[in-house]
Structures are given as structure tokens and as C-alpha cells.
């Protein structure tokens, strides 16, 4: 059984969309999406520097557009399940037919702007902890006033809080943790610091008419499958200020009988975690169009 997944913020790198725009129709599709959301996606995906695409308001729609563009290049795909990490859940919602591509991009554009505004209120950030036992790491983070914002599995937890709290963590890391790596993000996502963005997104979501998922949609909130389009949207709104439980999503992939996992552009992060946490599951990251043929072979072997 094939799982199709989409990465979250931080996966973008300067120029990562350049080779994808050489595919037939890709540049035109991106231009239509750019007009719909008032953001030049082609510029940010091909010419902008690292600082420009780190901006939350830019990074989020750019990542969703990249995921949709690369998935479309695969042709017809029949995954057994779809999921996304953080903002990647919007990409997954489009994969599952809950929202069309344009609606997903419009909503994520509003999300990015709202989260950028929330991040500007207090100087906050995130840091990845590599190694360590969650039963030791989580209480240590809470002692420092930090939130375990992403519980990714495979020995990785991402902490979020004020910059002062992140600095304290670097000076006093939990027992058994190998490294604390500050992330290139603009705020403490998936924490109470993002609460102002939740209400903005909730109001925007009221204008939508979501459809029920056409494939199994696995949610970051608790790793559960969600069968209602309205419930998917409700969870997309709430996850802005709630932790991402990617570890539970991967447990669900195992329970569903996953045999292969493809991560859409800019792939690499989630396949790296899956290689450690899902032994026996074949993985492939769509980094450039050169990966498409191998992905299609994997789809032919493992898709429903």
C-alpha cells in the first residue's frame, strides 16, 4: 500500500522549483495559482534567496504549490493514504479531494500571513532535538517553558518557544540528546504563540465547502484517519496552535499496511524519518523531475 506525504516548513531551499518549471504546463499552472493568491510563486521558487523564502507568508503557499505541482507530474496516482507534516496537511487535503488546488492555496496563503503576524508579536523560534527518550525530553522541555511542537518519531522532537527559552535549551539539553539544532523558521509554530492565527483561519474556513476525502486522510492531531471533509478543515485550523504528532501518523501507516512512501517536492525530510521509523517500507523523495520515473515504478508496484 502506497502512502503519499507532503513536507512542512523548512524543507524549501533557494531555486528548488527551477527544474520543475521545465515540465509541460507547469509554468502556466504556477502562474494561475500565483494570480489566485497574489504571490509570485515562480519568482520565490526560482530566484528568491533563503531569507526571502523563510518568510512564513511566502514559504507556506510555496511549499503547497511545489507539492501539488510535483504530484501532478506523476500522473494518475491511487495512494492508499495521504498525509502532510504541518503545512503539508493542506497539500494532503488537496490530494484527498477535500479542497481543490486553488482553494487549498488560498487558505494556506491566509494561514501564512496570519502566522507571520502572530510570530511578530513575540520573538520566538524552534529547535530540533536529535536523540533522547521522549519520556525524558518532554518533561525537560516543559520545565524550560518550551512546547514539544513536533513529535516526529525516530528520535526527533522539535521544541518551540521564545528565543530565550531556545537558548536555555541549548545550554541545558535533556539527558541522552545528541544535538539541539535551531531551525530556520520565523516563529514558535504549533504552540500557544500562534493562537491569534487560529481565529483568522477559522473565519477564512467558514467560506469553504469541503468534500469528504476520497482516500484515507491521516491527521497530524492524533494520527487518526478522518473521513469527513468538515472535520479535516476543522483540524487544519486547530493544528496551527497544536503539536504535530507525526510519530502517530507513521504508526497509522504501519497499521494500514504501508509498503511504500513517496514524499512530494521538496522531498527528503519525511523520507529520512521514515527510513528510521518504518523499516521495510520503501521510500522515495521527489527532489527533482529526475526522480519521477523511479516514483512511477514504485507507484505501479504499490498503489491501490
Cα R_g (the chain), whole angstroms? 18
Enumerate the CATH 3.40.366.10 domain ranges in the chain, comma separated: 2-120+191-302
| Gap between the Cα atoms of 63 and 144, Å rounded | 31
Output the average pLDDT for the chain: 95
Distances in Å between the alpha carbon of 239 and those of 199, 221, 233, 280?
A: 12, 7, 10, 30
pLDDT confidence bin for 56, thresholds 50/70/90: very high
| Gap between the Cα atoms of 205 and 136, Å rounded | 38
Does position 36 have pLDDT exceeding 90, yes or no?
Answer: yes
**Percent with pLDDT over 90 in the chain:** 95
Residue with C-alpha cell 516548513? 9
Tell me the pLDDT tens digit for each residue of 125-181. Answer: 999 999 888 999 999 999 999 999 999 998 899 999 999 999 999 999 999 999 999
Tell me the pLDDT tens digit for each residue of 238-281. Answer: 999 999 999 999 999 999 999 999 999 999 999 999 999 999 99
Residues in the chain: 304
Q: 124-182: which CATH number, 3.30.70.250, 3.40.50.720, 3.30.460.80, 3.10.20.440?
A: 3.30.70.250
Q: Which residues pair with 124 in a beta bridge?
A: 162
| Gap between the Cα atoms of 154 and 146, Å rounded | 20
Cell readout for 43 is 519568482
Cell readout for 122 is 513575540
Q: Is 70 a catalytic residue?
A: no
Amino acid 37: pLDDT: 98
| Gap between the Cα atoms of 28 and 15, Å rounded | 18
**H/E element, 92:** helix 88-95
Backbone torsions φ then ψ of 180, nearest 5 degrees: -120, 115
Q: Which residues pair with 84 in a beta bridge?
A: 6
Which one from 85, 140, 190, 193 is the annotated catalytic residue?
190
Amino acid 304: pLDDT: 63
Comparing C-alpha atoms, which of 279, 5, 277 is closest to residue 154? Answer: 277
Tell me the pLDDT tens digit for each residue of 207-239. Answer: 999 999 999 999 999 999 999 999 999 999 999
Q: How many helices (H) and strands (E) does the chain have?
A: 13, 10
Prediction pTM value: 0.95
**H/E element, 32:** helix 26-37
Comparing C-alpha atoms, which of 266, 203, 208 is closest to residue 232? Answer: 208
Which one from 70, 86, 140, 219 is the annotated catalytic residue?
86
CATH of domain 2-120+191-302: 3.40.366.10
Amino acid 285: pLDDT: 98
CA angle, 187 then 273 then 275, to 5°: 165
Enumerate the CATH 3.30.70.250 domain ranges in the chain, comma separated: 124-182
Q: Is 85 a catalytic residue?
A: no
The 3-state secondary structure of 45-81, one letter per residue: HHCCCHHHHHCHHHHHHHHHHHHHHHHHHHCCCCCCE
Residues near 41 by beta carbon (within 8 Å), at least 6 away in sequence: 17, 30, 33, 34, 61, 62, 65
Amino acid 186: pLDDT: 82
pLDDT, average across residues 182-207: 92
Amino acid at each position: 500500500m502506497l502512502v503519499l506525504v507532503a513536507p512542512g516548513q523548512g524543507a524549501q531551499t533557494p531555486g528548488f522549483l527551477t527544474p520543475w518549471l521545465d515540465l509541460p504546463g507547469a509554468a502556466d499552472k504556477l502562474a494561475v495559482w500565483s494570480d489566485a493568491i497574489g504571490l509570485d510563486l515562480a519568482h520565490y521558487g526560482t530566484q528568491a534567496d533563503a531569507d526571502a523564502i523563510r518568510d512564513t507568508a511566502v514559504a507556506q503557499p510555496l511549499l503547497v504549490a511545489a507539492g501539488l505541482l510535483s504530484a501532478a507530474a506523476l500522473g494518475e496516482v491511487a495512494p492508499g493514504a495521504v498525509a502532510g507534516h504541518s503545512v503539508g496537511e493542506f497539500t494532503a487535503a488537496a490530494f484527498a479531494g477535500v479542497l481543490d488546488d486553488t482553494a487549498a492555496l488560498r487558505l494556506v496563503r491566509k494561514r501564512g500571513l496570519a502566522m507571520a503576524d502572530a510570530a511578530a508579536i513575540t520573538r520566538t523560534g524552534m529547535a530540533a532535538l536529535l536523540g533522547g527518550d521522549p519520556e525524558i525530553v518532554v518533561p525537560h522541555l516543559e520545565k524550560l517553558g518550551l512546547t514539544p511542537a513536533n513529535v516526529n518519531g525516530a528520535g526527533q522532537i522539535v521544541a518551540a518557544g521564545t528565543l530565550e527559552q531556545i537558548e536555555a535549551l541549548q545550554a541545558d539539553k535533556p539527558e541522552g540528546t545528541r544535538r539541539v539544532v535551531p531551525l530556520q523558521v520565523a516563529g514558535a509554530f504549533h504552540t500557544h504563540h500562534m493562537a491569534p492565527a487560529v481565529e483568522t483561519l477559522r473565519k477564512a474556513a467558514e467560506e469553504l465547502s469541503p468534500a469528504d476525502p476520497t482516500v484515507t486522510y491521516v491527521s497530524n492531531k492524533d494520527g487518526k484517519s478522518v473521513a469527513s471533509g468538515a472535520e479535516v478543515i476543522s483540524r487544519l485550523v486547530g493544528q496551527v496552535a497544536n503539536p504535530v504528532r507525526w510519530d502517530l501518523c507513521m504508526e497509522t501507516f504501519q497499521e494500514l499496511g504501508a509498503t511504500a512512501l513517496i514524499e512530494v517536492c521538496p522531498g527528503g525530510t519525511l523520507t529520512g524519518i521514515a527510513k528510521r521509523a518504518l523499516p521495510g517500507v520503501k521510500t522515495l523523495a521527489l527532489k527533482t523531475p529526475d526522480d519521477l520515473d523511479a516514483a512511477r515504478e514504485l507507484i505501479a508496484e504499490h498503489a491501490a
